Amino acid sequence: MSDYKKRLAPKDGIHPDNKRAIKLIQKYFPDKNVSILDFGCGNGWLLNELYKEGYKDLTGVDYKTPTLINKTIKFKYCNLNNGYIDYKQKFDVVLGLHLIEHLKSPYNLINIAYNIIKDGGLFIIAHPDMSNIFHRFNFLLKGENMRFNKDNSNNVFITNNVFKRFLYGSDVYNIKNNSSKQKFLIKKRISSNAIMPVFHFKLPNIRMFEGSVIYVLQKNWEV
């Protein structure tokens, strides 16, 4: 783990955005009778927690088998950098937490999610805010971004505007004119405060200090 990650890692080892995702699912689907797929499920922690909360139709997707996943939770192997996941099942919710910045083609993730989400279903996605003040200051001093070095696997430099472009595809006309042709409509945007390196205290909830962003996206079935 890089020194940067060690300084900012939560004490319990669980990314706060995973916990926020659970609360969002509970808010929008309190009856628990929904199907959920987690792209980049990692060790399976998030799916296990959803199972404990009463959600049973759960599927994990990753390039390696999760170590903590409950045996009743379905799992499908897929490397999203190299392949395409073909699912006949449609899901009410698809999760993609801190995954898109690691992919070679973020558009691939958006397209796959669109194809497997039910009409009106939700895509909950999170990414780090690469433009916050700490990244800018570090670049000014060292000439590199803290998340883009030999110690991590980030491939895509994501800002708020770059992420919105992924939603519209590569059609710049649609972006400038706020066209409804985007695959997903932004239902809710939640920012996560950055933590002050070394001192470990949270900063004011403003764009300059954003550590990461969660989007609740709704499938636009009229595309």
**For the chain, which residues make up each domain, given as ranges?**
3-219
Name the percent of the chain lying above pLDDT 70.
65
**Does position 158 have pLDDT exceeding 60, yes or no?**
yes
b/e per residue, 76-109, with b = 16+ CB within 10 A?
Answer: eebebeeeebeeeeebbbbbbbbbbbbbeebebb
pLDDT digit string, tens, across residues 180-214: 567 788 888 887 665 544 445 555 555 555 667 88
In three-state secondary structure terms, 216 is strand
- Radius of gyration, CA atoms only, the chain: 17
- Domain 3-219, what architecture? 3-Layer(aba) Sandwich (3.40)
pLDDT of 219 > 70? The answer is yes
User: Does the pLDDT at position 27 exceed 90?
Assistant: yes
What does the block give as tokens for 215? 């989007």
- Positive or negative, the CA dihedral 65, 85, 72, 47 is positive
pLDDT the model gives residue 22: 94
Residue 144 clears pLDDT 60, i.e. is over it = yes
| Residues 123, 92: Cα–Cα separation, whole Å | 9
What pLDDT was estimated at residue 134?
Answer: 61
Nearest in space to 59 (alpha carbons), one of 84, 34, 79: 34
Q: How confident is the model at residue 5 (pLDDT cuts 50, 70, 90)?
A: very low
Least confident range from 6-10, 74-78, 89-93, 133-137: namely 6-10
**19-28 burial: b if 16+ Cβ within 10 Å, else e:** ebbbebbeeb
* pLDDT score at 111: 85
Q: Partners of 62 in the beta sheet?
A: 77
**Predicted confidence (pLDDT) per residue in 36-89, tens digit:** 999 999 889 999 999 999 999 999 999 888 887 788 899 988 888 776 677 788
The answer on pLDDT for 171 being more than 50 is no
Q: What is the pLDDT of residue 1?
A: 37
Between 67 and 168, where is the model more confident? 67
Cα–Cα distance measured from residue 136 to residue 204, given in angstroms and rounded to the nearest whole number: 17
